[in-house]
Structure 1
């Protein structure tokens, strides 16, 4: 009496669920190989149902392929359609605006979320600092750029911070940051050494140069 039931459960587990997983994995691989297909699929979803989530997903997909000019309008509409400003959407919007060198809007939107706890020591705060530098607001820029000077993390950003300090004639402080990065690089895991190889090489070159 129980054999057919058990057989059905086994079939569902081994066939149905695995098939669904396989289809999901196949779809994800296809989207990685052919990102334009992912965009088209998400555009169809948005046409079918103009929800906040569908619009947000499409904006993120544009951001992934560095199509910032198409990402921005969807982020803006997502915010407009939401009763509360969405912290994550604004973070993405800051990144998109920075990459098209619209520094005024980077600052505008960063200041909407700068009191949010997750803004502190984030990539968004770092981009905010860089935008302030571009507009010659150097003291504010330094305050925000220094926020990411955290050991064993933010290697690329800390290298940029060191270069910023050199430009402000603060070579001693810049050298301390560069030496910390170099010291930390000696204890990196192999994947991190590979990931940050170019940054570590730049650190070594700058330390060896006459500029520091």
Structure 2
């Protein structure tokens, strides 16, 4: 059985080699080092090409983030499609250049895409990042009745913007939507502080206690991710 599996694997590798016209020396590797040769061939020539391209793109984006932006700008100049506009705006968001991202999101909303949920949600986040709370509210209210808006960080940002504009009751109603167990730890900590500022101490303490209890059951990875938040929660709990 093992012998036939090796033969089948060799046959596949040879078929792939000739189909894609890879270097001929792989024939000897596949035939004379059967299992190991086939595995090496598959890793380098079948699986690895896409992975290498993806890894290379990510590395370039990290080392030289402006290269991806320039490439996307050229792509947009060549074809001003909805997707090219959004891709460029998203790239600006990744490097936290929200001022440059916003015009491209706005442009993407023209025509048939004026009610596009993803773009409007991105505008909510971008406007919040530059502290333009009026536009956060304006765009959030375009999608606030959408099912995908409920209980999300976008709704939470909407609540924070409402608070900034003095619309406290509306702010509280939206902020409380994010109070979901085993998630949104950063947002729930902010919600607890919001409630304390309004003398709703017991409600705030309940949220802090919940986060404390949930932290006892976190994975090690989540404990690392939310280490600072948990420390702040414990500090605030002890002060109440």
**Counterpart of 2:217 in 1: which secondary structure?**
coil
More deviation, 100-109/74-83: 74-83
Alignment pair present for 1:33 and 2:40:
no
Which of 176, 180, 194 is equivalent to 1:146? 176
Structure 1 runs of 4+ off > 4 angstroms?
3-6
Alignment pair present for 1:189 and 2:219:
yes
Q: Separation in 1 of the partners of 2:121 and 2:182? A: 23
1:125 is matched with: 155
Alignment pair present for 1:19 and 2:65:
no
Q: Separation in 1 of the partners of 2:136 and 2:116? A: 16
Unaligned runs of 5+ in 1: none
Which of 80, 91, 100 is equivalent to 2:110? 80
Q: Separation in 2 of the partners of 1:68 and 1:58? A: 11
Higher relative contact order (CA 8 A, sep 6+): 1
Q: Separation in 2 of the partners of 1:6 and 1:97? A: 52
Number of matched residues? 208
TM-score w.r.t. length of structure 1: 0.92
More deviation, 24-33/125-134: 24-33
Larger radius of gyration: 2
TM-score w.r.t. length of structure 2: 0.82
Q: Separation in 1 of the partners of 2:116 and 2:50? A: 32
Two-structure CA RMSD over aligned residues (Å):
1.9
- Aligned-pair CA distance for 1:33: 2.4
Question: Residue deviations 1:53-81, cap 9 Å, x none?
Answer: 01100000111111010000000000114
